[in-house]
Amino acid sequence: MVSRKLMEQLFGGGHSRSAAAFPVRAVYMETGRAVTGVPVQVLISVSKRHFKRAVKRNRVKRQLREGYRLNKQILIDAVNLKREDKSIALAFIWQADRLYETREVEASVKLLLQRIAERL
């Protein structure tokens, strides 16, 4: 869970970077590990503008969480290897107006995690 202060830094300041693999966009930035104690903090956002019904929004959030859970080691290893004193704040933002199959969402999340790991 990302704190409100960290979210404001992530989306408000000029320190964050972005990557996209449709239908998901990732916004991330480095933070100090002393602040969090964990290598990666994740936020998942699905707008009401895309899905009016909470059932569909919750489905997409579950898909994003599962995709991250299955592939998070890619990013955690990169953070621990390259940035031992740093941590990553990461937000997944859904950009599509329709539902996708879980394997497609997982593939997008995996691609984003690989891109972020390479950029660290």
Q: pLDDT confidence of 17, banded at 50, 70, 90?
A: very high
Task: Give Cα 88 to chain centroid, integer Å.
Answer: 10
- Whole-angstrom Cα Rg for the chain: 14
User: What is the per-residue pLDDT across 79-117, written as a single tens digit (0 to 9) for each?
Assistant: 888 867 788 899 999 999 999 999 999 999 999 999 999
Residue 34 confidence (pLDDT): 61
Task: Answer yes or no: are the C-beta atoms of 13 and 30 closer than 8 Å.
Answer: no
Top pLDDT among 61 and 85 is at 61
Q: pLDDT confidence of 71, banded at 50, 70, 90?
A: very high
Whether 1 shows a pLDDT value over 80: the answer reads no
Cα torsion 13, 19, 21, 25 to 10°: value is -10
Per-residue CA distances from 1 to 36, 41, 43, 62, 73 (Å): 10, 6, 6, 15, 17
Token match 């956002």: residue? 45
